[in-house]
Amino acid sequence: MQSRFRSDRRLTVRMGLTLFLLGLLYVAFVAALIVLLKSWVLVVVLAGGLLVAQYWFSDRIALYAMKGRIVEREEYPELHGVIDRLCAVADMPKPVVAVSDIDMPNAFATGRNANNAVICVTTGLLRRLEPAELEGVLAHELSHVAHKDVAVITVASFLGVLAGLMVRFAFYSQIFRGRKDQNTLAVFAGIMGISAAVYAISFLLIRALSRYRELAADRAAALLTGRPSALASALTKVDGDIARIPTKDLRTAQAFNAFYFSPATGTEPGISKYFSTHPSLEQRLDQLGRISAELGEAAVPGIDKAG
């Protein structure tokens, strides 16, 4: 079913191209592993099993990792109410609603499609945002579900996960224990080298797509709600508050940065922006400022410079 979130052809093209390139890389990676390990059954079962598990259980994995739990309307009536209204306006199925009891202000969407999606917010986000700001954040997350980029990022990130697991497999597998001949060392070096290359390429492709999809979600949310200033205010508030979260607490969350509303870095990236999962705060506010001007919305601090 087509939602009322404005379609983004450039996002669709980028998702298709990323999946195509990663698909080629995936086939080459599996073929190389079969040649090196001389066991196509082992490689296919491992790679196929992990891909299916990541696709079908990504929502449960993400909720478990972020200590999220599904909540009913009786427990969080206001949160459910905002999501109900947005889903009605967007003409899309209501996702499962979850809350993570952590202080870091953030939110994320996960799930393989609109009918199996989860929107999770942290208690830190609920405590800090005003109703209009929360609406903007939730609209942003719902747009990820409507545009299907949540599923694309989930599948795309699988290749990096597989490459990392193969490095560990090379270290700990019985295949290499107690065998020091040249053939074993060559296979070990081959797996390490190919896995590292695959991880690096998939890393760059996913980061490039992730940065664009965040801008697309900001744009779609601002247009759906008609209040880009509220989303800009939420971005500014969340980004500033994350910077005050202890670094040791942020590290545990950084593995899921590609799914978050705002990355758990606490700093504005320098040259690392080219490897970041999100565009800079300035880019996001500039875009919202332009949308605000187009809609004729009154400027607010943080985005008036972009109008």
Q: How far is CA 78 from CA 12, 126, 286, in A?
A: 33, 10, 30
Amino acid at 57: F
Place of tokens 């082992």: 42
**49, HSE (Cβ side, Cα atoms, 13 Å):** 7
**3-state class of 108 per DSSP?**
strand
How many CB atoms neighbour CB 222 within 10 A? 28
Q: Which of 74, 78, 135, 141 is an active site residue? A: 141
70 strand-pairing partners: 98
Place of tokens 């999501």: 83
Contact 209, 152 (CB under 8 A): yes
Which of 124, 11, 110 has the alpha carbon at shortest distance from 64?
110
Euclidean distance between CA atoms 220 and 151, whole angstroms: 18
Provide the 8-state DSSP code for 38: S
Tell me whether residue 141 is one of the annotated catalytic residues.
yes
Which of 43, 47, 7 has the alpha carbon at shortest distance from 23?
47
> What is the enclosing helix (H) or strand (E) of 121?
strand 117-122
Catalytically active residues, by annotation: 141
